Structure 1
Amino acid sequence: MAIQTLDTTKLADETGNLYETVTVISKRARQLASKTKAELDQRLSYFEDLALDPAEELRSNEDQLRISLEYERQPKPSRAAIEELQDGELYFRNPTASEGDGA
Structure 2
Amino acid sequence: MMDLKKTDAPVTTVTYNRNEIDAPTDNIYEAISVIAKRAEQINTDIRRELIDKLDEFATYNDSLEEIFENKEQIEVSKFYEKLPKPHALAVKEWLDDKIYHRNTEDTQE
TMscore range, shorter length = 0.7 to 0.9
When the two structures are superposed, what TM-score results if normalisation uses the length of structure 1? Answer: 0.79
Q: Deviations over 1:6-52 (max 9, x none)?
A: 11122111112000000000000000000000000111123445349
2:41 aligned residue: 31
Question: Quick one: distance in 1 between partners of 2:44 and 2:13?
Answer: 24
Larger Rg: 1
Given the alignment of the two structures, is residue 8 of structure 1 paired with residue 21 of structure 2, yes or no?
Answer: no
Question: What is the deviation of 1:96?
Answer: 2.1
Runs of 4+ in 1 over 3 A off after TM superposition: 47-52
TM-score by length of 2: 0.75
Measure, in 1, the Cα distance between the counterparts of 2:84 and 2:96: 16
| 1:73 aligns to 2:79 (yes or no) | no
Could you say which structure has the greater relative contact order, defined with CA pairs below 8 angstroms and 6 or more residues apart?
2
Structure 2: 5+ residue stretches without partners: 1-10
Q: Residue 2 and residue 70 in structure 1: after superposition, are their counterparts in 2 closer, same or farther (change >3 A)?
A: closer
- 2:54 matched residue in structure 1: 44
Q: Counterpart of 1:43 in structure 2: which amino acid? A: K
Going from structure 1 to structure 2, the CA distance change for 1:64 and 1:8 (only over 3 Å counts) comes to same
Read off the aligned partner of 2:106 and give its amino acid letter: A
Task: Give the root-mean-square deviation of aligned CA atoms.
Answer: 2.4
Q: Percent identity among equivalent residues?
A: 29
Higher helix proportion: 1
